[in-house]
Amino acid sequence: MAGREIMYREALREALFEEMGRDESIFIIGEGIAERGGSYKVTEGLLAEYGPTRIRDTPISEAGMIGVGVGAAIAGARPIVEILYVDFAMLGMDMIVNQAAKFRLMTGGRGRVPFVLRTQGGTGGGVAAQHSQSLEALFYHIPGLRVVMPSTPADAKGLLKYALRQEDPVMFIEHKHLYMTKGEVPEGELITEFGVADIKREGTDVTLIAWSNMIPRTLQAAEELAEMGISAEVLDPRTLVPLDRVAILKSVAKTNRCVIVQEAVRRGGVASDISSIIQEEAFYSLDAPVQIVAGMNTPIPFNLTLEEASVPQKNDIIAAVQSVLHHKAA
């Protein structure tokens, strides 16, 4: 398949156009997603193509739109609910956690909830504490939810198309700083299965595990490490649920060292769980303890300098790698 470079938001838009053309049961609801095309222009042009029945603006009521989406999914449609900031998904947590995630089990497998919640999180631009959180760990904790966090345009398209063909609820979390980034996306059909990690850069000295907007930052760190003679392997899980444990353990067995990078606050984060998996299942492969580079345990400041200080930067990743490489067993 021939490749071309397009933006992350264009890749998402392509996925929506293609899947809505393939399946008439897919519809989208959200704030400003119809005539306005969404705040990040992902849904631009969809209203003209598919009409106001399938592309619907909603009132400012996240609880209402998530409830409508979950109910429609149970009734047999394939709704996409767009929530502008992942912070606002908290208003619909009962529907997500107590209804969508549990309906399949509570109906003995007869019921399905093919529901996709598209949203974005993370820091950037000084939009402060209520618009900058990385909340993937909340959804990661809930059995029954799929959690997807693509870092590249190709992954965004392939994973969204796969999400729209599933029978279980999917939390599809994008990042505000990735929409304008460009990457190669193959022409034609592109489907990326959940639970398959991607090695963004091969390496032999240390495994760097990251996702979403931490992937570009980690790749920058890997470039600088290479100039120091350090070969870093960068692994992107792409989906946190399901998690590709096999790929993670295989990479750690190869490099014998691991640094995990997450934008979310350190306490109770996904990185801690991945670290525990490595410690339990690959302990004897490790030549140094697993290091975690994560956000500070603080609300995100409005001030841009403080915002930058509150989440991992390239130099933090480099310092962590140097620490694990210089570790000496007692």
How confident is the model over 163-190, as pLDDT tens digits?
Answer: 999 999 999 999 999 999 999 999 889 9
What length does the chain have? 330
Residue matched to tokens 């029978």: 167
Is position 141 annotated as part of the catalytic site? no
Residue 106 identity:
M
| Residue 266 in tokens | 């350190």
Residue 247 to residue 199: CA distance in whole angstroms: 9
Residue 270 to residue 126: CA distance in whole angstroms: 24
CA angle, corner 201, sides to 195 and 203, nearest 5?
A: 110
| Residue 173 in tokens | 């979390």
Q: Which residues contact residue 208 at a Cβ distance below 8 angstroms, ignoring those fewer than 6 apart?
A: 218, 221, 222, 232, 233, 234, 235, 258, 259, 260, 261, 317, 321
- 2 has a pLDDT exceeding 90: no
Among 148, 152, 142, 193, smallest CA distance to 171 is for 148
The pLDDT score that the predictor gives to residue 329 is 59
- 51 has a pLDDT exceeding 80: yes
How confident is the model over 74-126, as pLDDT tens digits?
Answer: 999 999 999 999 999 999 999 999 999 999 999 999 999 999 999 999 999 99
Q: Pick the catalytic residue from 131, 141, 326, 327.
A: 131
Q: Which residues contact residue 4 at a Cβ distance below 8 angstroms, ignoring those fewer than 6 apart?
A: 184, 185, 187
How confident is the model over 211-244, as pLDDT tens digits?
Answer: 999 999 999 999 999 999 999 999 999 999 999 9
- 207 has a pLDDT exceeding 90: yes
Burial class of 35 by CB neighbour count within 10 A (0 to 12, 13 to 18, 19+): exposed
Q: Which residues contact residue 324 at a Cβ distance below 8 angstroms, ignoring those fewer than 6 apart?
A: 206, 257, 258, 259, 288, 289, 290, 291
SS3 119: strand
Among 184, 177, 218, smallest CA distance to 200 is for 218
Average pLDDT rounded to a whole number, residues 26-54: 96
CB atoms within 10 A of CB 193: 11
Q: Which residues contact residue 143 at a Cβ distance below 8 angstroms, ignoring those fewer than 6 apart?
A: 101
Q: Most distant CA pair in the chain: distance in Å?
A: 67
DSSP letter at 242 equals S
Q: Which domains does the chain have, with CATH numbers?
A: 3-186 (3.40.50.970), 198-325 (3.40.50.920)
Dihedral over Cα of 277, 167, 171, 69: its sign: negative
Q: Which residues sit opposite 56 in a β-bridge?
A: 29
